[in-house]
Amino acid sequence: MIIGEIRRYLRDNNSIRVSRSLKDTAYKAIYARDALTRRNLKEPSIEEIAAEVGISKEDIVYAMDAIQNPMSLYEPIYTDGGDTLYVMDQISDKKNKEETWVEHLSLSEAMKRLGPREYEIISLRFFSGKTQMEVAEMIGISQAQVSRLEKNALKTMRAYLTA
């Protein structure tokens, strides 16, 4: 009874909720992996584990991922004197890649080719998220003029970027 209460406490107070069926699938996969390793004297593949348990390999992978403990991005992986390598250092940054930086530079250069009014319209429309009507009210011109100026500005920028 005490062991049951301890298990219930650990299950209910875990940082991430994982369903019991998912945990059961993961534990079946772990037991199958151990049995196959002992039997074949080598690490089994996911396909072998899935065949042994009778569950699809996708479900096995999903269940195994679900029972992993969360890790902090600031968890040290390697320390060499004063230089510590963290988990965060091993994760790629899809948002701030070199291509994005180069595109931003090119876009900035293309915007420098615009007149002050066109520059303001493009900035308000695409960087501040304003509608053409909002831009028209802010600048004091009609929505149709904003549309024409925006179209010409984009044409100028496109010509610069494709040249």
Q: Please, what are the domains in the chain?
A: 2-73+85-89 (1.10.10.10), 98-162 (1.10.10.10)
What is the Cα–Cα distance from 70 to 18, expressed in whole angstroms?
Answer: 12
Q: What is the pLDDT of residues 21-59, one digit of tens each?
A: 888 999 999 999 999 999 999 999 999 999 999 999 999
Range picked from 19-23, 79-83, 155-159 for highest mean pLDDT? 155-159
Residue 40 token pair:
């074949």
Rounded (5°) CA angle 63-46-8:
25
For residues 72-94, give the mean pLDDT.
76
CB–CB of 131/81 below 8 Å? Answer: no
Residue 45 is given by DSSP the state: P
Residue 85 pairs with which residues in a beta bridge?
Answer: 78
Q: Is the predicted pLDDT of residue 64 greater than 70, yes or no?
A: yes
Residue 67 is given by DSSP the state: T
